A and B are shown apart, each in its own frame.
Chain A
Amino acid sequence: MKETPVILVSGYLGAGKTTLINNLLREPNGKRLAILVNEFGELAIDEDLIEAKDDNLISISGGCICCSFGDDLSGALSDLAKFLPAPDYILIESSGVALPNQIVANVGLLNKFFMAGVVCIVDCSNVLQKLRDGYVSDLIASQIENSNLIILNKTDACSAQKLELIKEQISVDLNANLIASTTFSNISFEILEELQGISAACSDTDHADDVFDSVVIYPSNIDDPVNLGNLLLNATGIERAKGYFEDIANNRWLIQISSGALQLKQVQDHFPIGIVVIGLKGHFDISTVASLVQR
Chain B
Amino acid sequence: MQKTKIYSAKKIYTMNPCRPIVSHVAVKEGKILGAGSLEELASWGEFDLDDTFNEKVIMPGFVEGHAHTMEGTLWRKVYLGWFDRTDPSGKTWPGLKSINEIIERLSAAEKELSNEDLPLSGWSIDPIYMDNQRISRQALDQVSRTRPIGVLHASGHILNVNSKGLELAGLLKKGINHPGIPIGNDGYPTGELYGPDAMTPVGKHVGFDRSMTDCDEQGLRDYARLCVRAGVTTCTDLAARLTEESVSMMLRVTGEANFPACIVPLKVFFGMSPKDLVEFVKEIQTLSTERLRLGRIKAVLDGSIQGFSARLNWPGYFNGSPNGLWYTSPEQLLELYSLALENNLQIHTHTNGDQATQLAIETLEAVLKVHPSFDHRFTLQHCQLASTAQFRKMSKLGMCVNLFANHHYYWGDEHYRLTVGPERAERMNACRTALDANVNMAIHSDAPITPLAPLFTAWCAVNRLTVSERVQGEHEKISIEEAMFAITLGAAYTLHMDHEIGSIEIGKRADFAILEDDPFEAKPVDLKNIAVWGTVQSGRIFEADNLS
Contacts and interface: CB of A to CB of B under 8 A. Distances in A.
Q: Say whether chain A's binding surface is mostly helix, strand, loop, or mixed.
A: loop
Given A74-B201, A135-B330, A136-B329, A109 B273 contact: no
Across chains A and B, which 8 residue pairs bring their CB atoms closest together, nearest first? A70-B271, A41-B273, A97-B326, A105-B178, A74-B201, A97-B329, A39-B271, A106-B197
27 contacts: A38-B271, A42-B275, A71-B196, A71-B210, A71-B270, A72-B200, A74-B201, A75-B200, A75-B210, A78-B201, A97-B328, A99-B325, A105-B177, A105-B179, A106-B197, A108-B176, A109-B171, A109-B176, A109-B178, A109-B198, A109-B201, A111-B170, A135-B326, A135-B330, A136-B329, A136-B330, A139-B326
A202 B204 CA distance: 34
Nearest to B202: A109
Contacts of B200: 72, 74-75
Nearest to B332: A13
A97 B270 CA distance: 12
Q: Is the interface of B mostly helix, strand, loop or mixed?
A: loop
B318 interface: no
Contacts, number: 72
Interface in A126-178: 134-136, 138-139
Nearest to A134: B355
Given A72-B200, A102-B179, A110-B170, 10 more contacts: A12-B329, A13-B329, A13-B331, A39-B271, A39-B273, A70-B270, A108-B176, A108-B178, A135-B326, A138-B322
Contact of B201 (A12, A99, A102, A110): A110
Contacts of B204: 75
A14 interface: yes
A109 B179 CA distance: 11
Interface residues of B, number: 34
B1 interface: no
B455 to A, nearest CB: 35
A96 B178 CA distance: 22
A97 B271 contact: no
The range of chain A's interface size is 20 to 34
B179 A136 contact: no
A68 interface: yes
Contacts of B196: 71
Given A96-B329, A105-B177, A135 B355 contact: yes
B359 interface: yes
Which residue among A41, A70, A135 has the maximum number of chain B CB atoms within 10 Å of its CB? A135
Contacts of A42: 273, 275
A99 B3 CA distance: 63
A105 B355 CA distance: 27
B520 interface: no
Contacts of A41: 273, 276
A105 B197 CA distance: 9
Contacts of A14: 331
Contacts of A71: 196, 210, 270-271
